[in-house]
Amino acid sequence: MKLIASTLTALILLTMSAWAEAPNETTIDWKLAEEVKSLVELKLDPELGEVTYGPNFALSNNLLMEKYSEIYLTRRIDPKNEEFYTLFVTAHDNDQDWHSYDTATKKDGEKLGIKTIAKNENVSVNNVDYKHEEQLQISMTFIDFADGFDFGLELTISGNQADKLMIPATYFRAMLQSM
């Protein structure tokens, strides 16, 4: 009985130790595709198909975390074998009015489809209170995704205010390597 208890205790400690040492968005080197790849998740869903989730790029540095709580890319292959690329962005602010983002433009001037998923008032993110939170869905093509391998993605989202995002090429390479 003591052997079982000791074995169980050791297993729990090893599991917790491995979990505590697991990399996360705040500890990896975002310049290394292999480290970014370690946080890419692949899930199979009977309705959605195969979905690849990139890590939350908003947690890569403190300046982004002041404005965004989520920036992540998904790649989905539905049961009909169609491919979809979507960038999800959650922005928050304490401005008087909503930013009402309605345009997403790449550096070369190409416009991407953008949709507001939700608008929330008086939210708390990482123990900081904000007046506004806007959740956005930005549609991309495979070509947009492939361009990201070499150049990254410089994106301007605009509405009542314009904000620039730069997602590095290593993020896109990590997504590609995980597929």
Residue 146: pLDDT band with limits 50, 70, 90 = very high
What's the pLDDT tens digit per position in 156-171? Answer: 999 999 999 999 999 9
Distance CA 125, CA 102 (A): 23
Q: Is the pLDDT of residue 151 over 70?
A: yes
The residue assigned the tokens 């869903």 is: 45
Q: 165: closest CA among 106, 77, 94, 86?
A: 106
Q: What integer pLDDT is reported at residue 48 of this predicted model?
A: 87
Distance CA 171, CA 165 (A): 13
Residue numbers of the domain that contains 82: 27-178
Q: Is the pLDDT of residue 22 over 60?
A: no
Tally of structural domains, the chain: 1
Residue 17 lies in a domain: no
Q: Residue 132 CB: number of other CB atoms within 10 A? A: 19
Q: Is the pLDDT of residue 11 over 50?
A: no
Residue 143 lies in a domain: yes
Burial of 22 (C-beta count, 10 Å sphere; 0-12/13-18/19+): exposed
What's the pLDDT tens digit per position in 74-115? Answer: 999 988 889 999 999 999 998 888 999 999 999 999 999 999
- Give residue 31's Cα distance to chain centre: 16
Q: Is the pLDDT of residue 37 over 70?
A: yes
Q: 70: closest CA among 125, 31, 108?
A: 125
Residue 76 lies in a domain: yes
Q: Is the pLDDT of residue 42 over 90?
A: yes
Residue 163 lies in a domain: yes
Q: Is the pLDDT of residue 4 over 90?
A: no
Question: The pTM is what?
Answer: 0.83
What's the pLDDT tens digit per position in 108-117? Answer: 999 999 999 9
Residue 4 lies in a domain: no
Residue 16 lies in a domain: no
Phi, psi (deg, nearest 5) at residue 85: -120, 130
Q: 116: closest CA among 98, 131, 94?
A: 98
Residue 118 lies in a domain: yes
Distance CA 70, CA 88 (A): 7
Residue 110 lies in a domain: yes
Share of the chain above pLDDT 90, in %: 64
CATH of the domain at 89: 2.60.40
Q: What integer pLDDT is reported at residue 26 of this predicted model?
A: 78
- Give residue 157's Cα distance to chain centre: 16
Strands 68-77 and 111-125: unpaired
